[in-house]
């Protein structure tokens, strides 16, 4: 079970984070002792069952602590082809490559949130939730992915109704603009996030959202976990659109050594473009905040050797720094630039300035901790991949680092606290943590 923790710096804005239920108990003990933080806690709509968290109740938290639920459009909405919605890459992926889905199922119906959202909002409220984070389906608003294909007013109506329903029940909407469901129309037209053309189309989509919903939505998240999207979709081929090098997996097309970096580069440009238009045209009037949600594990050196200590930093660079460093400093981590070389896209000075500082908050999803062991470089220019570029082994012997919470998740005391410090390397920023 996961919990969603968030906090905010006084006078600065809302701050959110993800951790497992057991980890939350440990982390909250730390956070509650830091008086400059006002805490919010966002849980999935599930009861507290962890024995270690039994001592906590609502009175344990500051008065402005927020409890809520988190979702994503493809995972809950269903109604995949109703009321003018266009197909996304996840519709295509699950329909054409069902063997890549554990049970071969699709999100065609999911939990039918599209039709049952009022019941679900009531359920959230019955659990005393204060907020709900959801994503907007790009193709429910722009069926082809582009403004030229027209705005689907039925889609706009659905999200207006959802937002109004939340507000009527005293819950705040937190909106993710993109949660991995690229329009199939843009994927077919120019390759989706492998093309710089996506930047203008994404900016247009984001602006429609700002125009239609920004009078009530005060927290915007441009992208959810771009690391997960780029690595799973373009390196491993296990997420839509299912691309990878033929030698790396069961994919019909892709390049695991280049495409993850290209997609990430274009996501950063799209994020920067959306933030720019929001700040220039909407923020002063709507008085909202805009940021991005990243993800990181914590890593522990497998041994005390210098090689493994350096491997720990490379693991963090390739997972978290891949996106945080351009946002904070305008460039990729030096370890990535050195190892990946000309396969890693470069920023011009102008591009760097647009992306640097393009956030009011940084979301940080944290799940678990892994070992990091240094491995020798392959010196191969043939079978390159994002997965091997960090020159680390993160599974090592299979020894669990702490109490198992699932097949790949462990509870390791103190790791969340260390991960929590990562975004604050940029002393000028303030941070929102969320799951």
Task: Give me the residue spans of the domains in the chain.
Answer: 2-300+356-367+409-425
pLDDT for the residue numbered 33: 35
Dist CA 71 CA 51 (whole Å):
26
pLDDT for the residue numbered 395: 72
Task: State which residues of the chain have pLDDT below 70.
Answer: 1-55, 379-380, 396-435
Q: Residue 213: in which H helix or E strand, if any?
A: helix 197-213
pLDDT for the residue numbered 20: 37
pLDDT, tens digit (0-9, with 9 covering 90-100), for 126-171: 999 999 999 999 999 999 999 999 999 999 999 999 999 999 999 9
Dist CA 29 CA 39 (whole Å):
12
pLDDT for the residue numbered 367: 84
pLDDT for the residue numbered 220: 97
pLDDT for the residue numbered 424: 56
Residue pair 330/268 in contact (Cβ under 8 Å)? The answer is no
Dist CA 332 CA 309 (whole Å):
20
pLDDT for the residue numbered 48: 36
Write down the pTM of the prediction. Answer: 0.85
pLDDT for the residue numbered 185: 99
pLDDT for the residue numbered 142: 99
Tell me how crowded residue 123 is: count the other CB atoms within 10 A of its CB: 13
pLDDT for the residue numbered 396: 55
Which architecture characterizes domain 2-300+356-367+409-425 according to CATH? Alpha-Beta Barrel (3.20)
pLDDT for the residue numbered 69: 86
pLDDT for the residue numbered 180: 98
């Amino acid at each position: 079970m996961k919990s969603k923790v968030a906090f905010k710096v006084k006078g600065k804005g809302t701050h959110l984070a993800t951790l497992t239920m057991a980890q939350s108990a440990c982390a909250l003990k730390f956070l509650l002792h830091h008086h400059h933080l006002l805490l919010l806690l966002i849980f999935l709509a599930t009861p507290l069952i962890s024995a270690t968290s039994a001592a906590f109740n609502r009175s344990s938290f500051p008065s402005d602590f927020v409890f809520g639920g988190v979702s994503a459009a493809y995972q809950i909405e269903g109604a995949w082809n109703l009321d003018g919605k266009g197909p996304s890459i996840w519709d295509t992926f699950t329909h054409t490559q069902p063997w890549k889905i554990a049970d071969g199922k699709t999100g065609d119906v999911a939990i039918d949130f599209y039709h049952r959202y009022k019941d679900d909002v009531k359920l959230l409220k019955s659990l005393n939730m204060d907020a709900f984070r959801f994503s907007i389906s790009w193709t429910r608003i722009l069926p082809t992915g582009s403004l030229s294909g027209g705005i689907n007013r039925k889609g706009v109506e659905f999200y207006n109704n959802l937002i109004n329903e939340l507000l009527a029940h005293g819950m705040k909407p937190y909106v993710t603009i993109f949660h991995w469901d690229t329009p199939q129309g843009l994927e077919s037209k120019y390759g989706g996030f492998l093309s710089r053309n996506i930047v203008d189309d994404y900016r247009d989509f984001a602006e429609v959202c700002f125009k239609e919903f920004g009078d009530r939505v005060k927290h915007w998240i441009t992208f959810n976990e771009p690391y997960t999207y780029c690595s799973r979709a373009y390196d491993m081929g296990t997420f839509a659109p299912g691309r990878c090098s033929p030698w790396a997996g069961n994919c019909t097309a892709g390049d695991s050594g280049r495409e993850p970096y290209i997609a990430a580069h274009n996501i950063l440009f799209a994020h920067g473009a959306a933030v720019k238009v929001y700040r220039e045209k909407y923020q002063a009037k709507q008085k909202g905040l805009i940021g991005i949600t990243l993800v990181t594990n914590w890593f522990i050196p497998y041994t005390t050797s210098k090689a493994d200590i350096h491997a720990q930093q490379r693991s963090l660079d390739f997972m978290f720094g891949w996106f945080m460093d351009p946002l904070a400093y305008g460039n990729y981590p030096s370890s990535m630039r050195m190892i990946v070389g000309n396969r890693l896209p470069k920023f011009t000075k102008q591009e760097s300035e647009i992306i640097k500082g393009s956030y009011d908050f940084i979301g940080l999803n944290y799940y678990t901790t892994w070992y990091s062991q240094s491995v020798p470089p392959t010196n191969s220019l043939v079978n390159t991949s994002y997965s091997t570029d960090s020159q680390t082994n993160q599974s090592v012997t299979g020894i669990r680092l702490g109490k198992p919470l699932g097949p790949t998740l462990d509870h390791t005391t103190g790791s969340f606290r260390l991960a929590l410090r990562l975004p604050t390397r940029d002393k000028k920023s303030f941070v929102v943590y969320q799951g």
